[in-house]
Amino acid sequence: MVDFTLTDEQKDLRELAHNFAEKEIRPVAWEYDKEGTWPQEIIDKAWEVGLMNTHTPEAYGGPGLDYLSGCLIEEEFGWGCSGIGTSLAANGLASAPVAIGGTEETKKKYLGMLIEEPKLASFCLTEPDAGSDVSGMKTRAVKKGDKYILNGSKCFITNGGYADWFTVYAKTDPDQGHRGISAFVVDGKQDNVTVDKKEDKMGQRASNTATITFDEVEVPAENLLGEENHGFKLAMMTLDRTRPGVAAMAVGIARAAFEFASEYSKERVQFGVPIAMHQAIQFLIADMATKVDAGRLLTWLSAVQLDQGKRNTLACSEAKRFAADSAMEVTTDAVQVYGGYGFIKEYPVEKLMRDAKIMQLYEGTSQIQRLVIAREVLLPRTIEETIPEAEAKGREADQKVAETAPAAA
Ligand code: CAA
């Protein structure tokens, strides 16, 4: 049986996130976008009401929410403002490799830090010459006694300028391609970790995107995540867990654009009737509604598979690809419905169109998602994965929640 009914707990969470987006995010979103304002007070409030670090297991002080609940929250963040939403959600990306591969001590220290105070952490994978091609990274970690010495530069790092710690990927065996990459937790507040550049972006301007340089940084060997030279796999497993949330955020952007365009089409009169009476506009609105709903269904499927302990690589790439491309299409069509006014900053939809663009780029471009989808359908392979023991242990206490997640497929 397929049942899309949310539990009462999930409905309450969605309402909490929606009210937060409506009262705390929306009223300032366009102003923050204009100035590129860092939303610290919104981060503090979201942390206070429990809308951050949602997947941190109860064993480390977090709420240990299921992945579907995370998607419900991220759709509302995207609806409110995806720039601010990205700032609120990015701890999840940095935390996932720690939850999967960290030692008990590492998890207590670093996951716990985010729960105790409204602190931030960033995921450092991308480099100037290694974007889609993760294996091309040049950052090096060399083991010396009980430490690794880290050197390199990471770019496009979300929340990088404000992070207290980083999950950093570096080559530990440069001759082994993707099998020579390891992941580490690195303290952010030390002299030889520097924030070099804050990007001035087209959209999601309230989020912070920085370049971080690591210069002879000493990393304790116990901060290695998982096994040495297994970092690539850890990165892929992390993205499988976070792409559903990115897809949900894209659905939220599309839903916001659809709602603005629908309302406007009922008010704007041309040729003597509201433009919603013209079939040309109705068809645009109909396609928007369909893309929002279809994107959400794929997103929920990719999250529910995770909650069931299944590898969701295909579903999350399909969800992320479709929801991101749909968000771009829906926001572009919303501008079209507004006509010339859509192009003006005084009206809400041009921001949504600018914000939507990054959804097709970060956490794997739409082209990379297609590559993953094609591989999964043409050459399906068995990857030893599901929820590994280390993560399952942390989530044991949360099984009750996970079991109540509706089975979408
Ligand atoms: N789960 C577990 N293991 C996986 C996996 C998965 N989903 N996908 C691949 N692997 C394993 C494979 O089994 C293989 O293992 P072996 O070494 O045992 O053979 C290994 O990883 C290599 O897999 P591939 O052969 O598929 O690797 P590839 O190099 O050919 O392709 C790729 C990989 C899909 C192109 C990948 O590099 C990729 O996803 N690139 C995009 C990177 C990305 O999303 N970057 C965004 C950065 S995050 C961000 O945007 C941050 C922000 O702040 C917003």
Dihedral pair phi/psi, residue 19, rounded to 5°: -60, -40
The predicted model gives 277-285 an average pLDDT of: 98
Protein residue whose Cα sits closest to atom 21 of ligand 1: 233
Q: Do residues 158 and 173 lie in contact, with contact meaning Cβ atoms separated by under 8 Å?
A: no
DSSP string covering 328-384: HHHHHHHHHHHGGGGGSTTSTHHHHHHHHHHHTTTTS-HHHHHHHHHHHHHS----S
Say if residue 293's pLDDT is above 70. yes
Q: Which numbered atom of ligand 1 lies nearest the CA of 209?
A: 53
Question: Which of these, 14, 25, 7, 106, lies nearest to 54 by C-alpha position?
Answer: 14
**Does the global pTM surpass 0.85?**
yes
Q: Do residues 114 and 236 lie in contact, with contact meaning Cβ atoms separated by under 8 Å?
A: no
Matching residue, tokens 């830090």: 113
- Residue 203's pLDDT band (cuts 50, 70, 90): very high
Matching residue, tokens 């030279």: 229
Protein residue whose Cα sits closest to atom 10 of ligand 1: 233
Percentage of the chain beyond pLDDT 90 is 91
pLDDT at 395: 52
- Residue 214's pLDDT band (cuts 50, 70, 90): very high
Matching residue, tokens 């497993």: 237
Matching residue, tokens 């290694």: 130
> Hey, which residues does 182 pair with through a beta bridge?
170
pLDDT at 382: 78
pLDDT at 393: 47
Residue 15: C-alpha distances to residues 12, 51, 170, 257, 407 (Å): 5, 12, 41, 20, 21
* Residues 338, 261: Cα–Cα separation, whole Å: 7
Q: Which numbered atom of ligand 1 lies nearest the CA of 383?
A: 13
* SS3 (DSSP) at 184: strand
DSSP string covering 307-326: HTT---HHHHHHHHHHHHHH
Report the residue among 178, 209, 355, 367 best suited for mutation to probe ligand 1: largest number of ligand atoms under 8 A from its CB: 178
Question: Which of these, 17, 25, 29, lies nearest to 348 by C-alpha position?
Answer: 29
Say if residue 384's pLDDT is above 80. no
Apex 375 CA angle, 373 and 380, nearest 5: 110
Say if residue 8's pLDDT is above 50. yes
Instruction: Kindly give the distance from the C-alpha atom of residue 295 to the centroid of ligand 1, in angstroms, as a whole number.
Output: 23
Mean residue pLDDT across the chain: 94
pLDDT in tens, 50-107: 999 999 999 999 999 999 999 999 999 999 999 999 999 999 999 999 999 999 999 9
DSSP string covering 113-162: HHHHSS--EEEE--BTTBSS-GGG---EEEEETTEEEEEEEEEEEETGGG
- Residue 352's pLDDT band (cuts 50, 70, 90): very high
The predicted model gives 263-287 an average pLDDT of: 98
pLDDT in tens, 227-255: 999 999 999 999 999 999 999 999 999 99
Q: In 221-316, where do the E strands start and end?
A: 224-225, 269-270, 273-274
Q: Which numbered atom of ligand 1 lies nearest the CA of 126?
A: 47
The predicted model gives 316-324 an average pLDDT of: 98
- Catalytic site positions: 363
Question: Which of these, 206, 256, 248, 247, lies nearest to 42 by C-alpha position?
Answer: 206
* Residues 291, 301: Cα–Cα separation, whole Å: 15
Residues whose beta carbon lies within 6 Å of some atom of ligand 1: 123, 125-126, 132, 134-135, 157-158, 178-179, 232-233, 236-237, 239-240, 313, 362-364, 368, 371-372, 383, 385
pLDDT in tens, 300-310: 999 999 999 99
Q: Do residues 354 and 328 lie in contact, with contact meaning Cβ atoms separated by under 8 Å?
A: no
The predicted model gives 193-221 an average pLDDT of: 97
- Crossing angle between the packed helical segments 231-267 and 279-307, to the nearest 10 degrees: 150
